[in-house]
Amino acid sequence: MDNKIITKLGIPALLLLATCGAASANQYALAASSSALYVIQQSGSTMTSTQICNLGSSTWSRDIAMYDNDTVLVTETSSSGSSLRVYDLTCSSGNYAATLKKTISLSSVYKAGSIAIGSNKSIYVAGNSSGSASYAYLSSLSATPSIGSITSSSYSHSLFADVAASGSTGVIISQNEYVKPIGGSYITTLSGGNVGATTSLEMDASNTPRYPTAVAATDDYTYVVSSTLEYTNSGAISIGSISGTNISTQALSGFNPTDITKFSIGDTDYLAIIGATSGGTPTALKYRIAGDGSVSQVGTLSLSATDYTGGFKCIASEDGSTLWFSRPNAGIAGALDTSSWSLAGSASTGSITSFASFDAANLPVPEPSSLLALASFGVGMLGFAGRRKSA
């Protein structure tokens, strides 16, 4: 099409598609705080954050997940119980918007927290309660939630820490068991609404209990980061660990891990672990996953000055090139280059509790059919006018 015609028309549909499509050169993620939803963008060394939706207040930390590239799931906990909100994500002239589509009641799930999406589009939401670990399973967004729990004499005081998808339907849930005198770390597999096997994770040589904080999974392997405090004459020392069903527990001395995520660079899989040292310095660790599932540390990066706020979260971009991380109580989100394992940028946000990456280039434009029809009509009219003028 002639550029002069486009300039004369000012075709909104084409401009919208070009503006949002150009985003493919950058990295984008959604971030949720206790009250709002943000779009954060990393372009070169510049990072920006824009609030796109007011979520209201929640009495528990939210989690978000992308169901499709334009469908966002958000957990919600209020005085009336838990729910799962479904939002449509759109882009118009570079402006992003999240519109509430529906709310799914999860009233029997106490303090709905982590969300995991299976490769078959099944949905798992883990609750967090003392005495009964409840979860919800939905085979699709249109399905009625199935509420389940994992209870036995062994788990009489269990807590769910995190949930992650593994393979087509399997979901791994890490558990925290406060049974005196020793606590423990456990993972349980779920397939649909059915509870599978539970595995106790290895503790270190001193039998120090590891209380799990987050879990990551590939199609074949599962990894859990855990932490505890050891009290000495000089004060409390953070003792973290990385465990798995296929690896021996590795101690992370002087480090308190709070989140873990898996990403790939080319054909190589990695784990990113974020947390803080005993001195309060936010730090990101990079581990390479070998073909047999074993892991080896290949990177360490201090992310900022001393920060005792904790609760750091992370997620990788769709292509694995960027790691998003948060310092919730400091109100800061940052981006890390996963190849060089160096800081790429940061921006002020709300108190971020979770991330979800998405492909900005493929977001829908509101009512594209009508806009394109208008553009086609305008082109036709210009052509008709040109023919009348030359006649």
pLDDT in tens, 274-307: 988 877 788 999 999 999 999 999 999 988 765 5
Predicted confidence (pLDDT) at residue 310 exceeds the cutoff of 70:
no
pLDDT band at 382 (very low <50, low <70, confident <90, very high): very low
Considering only CA atoms, which of 151, 161, 87, 165 is closest in space to residue 121? 165
Dig out the tokens for 186 from the structure. Answer: 């456990």
Predicted confidence (pLDDT) at residue 359 exceeds the cutoff of 50:
yes
Contacts of 286 (CB under 8 A, 6+ apart): 270, 271, 272, 297, 298, 299, 300, 301, 338, 341
pLDDT of residue 175: 63
pLDDT of residue 181: 43
pLDDT of residue 57: 72
What pTM, to 2 d.p., does this model score? 0.81
pLDDT in tens, 53-86: 998 876 566 889 999 889 999 988 877 778 899 9
Predicted confidence (pLDDT) at residue 26 exceeds the cutoff of 70:
yes
pLDDT in tens, 319-340: 999 999 887 777 778 889 999 9
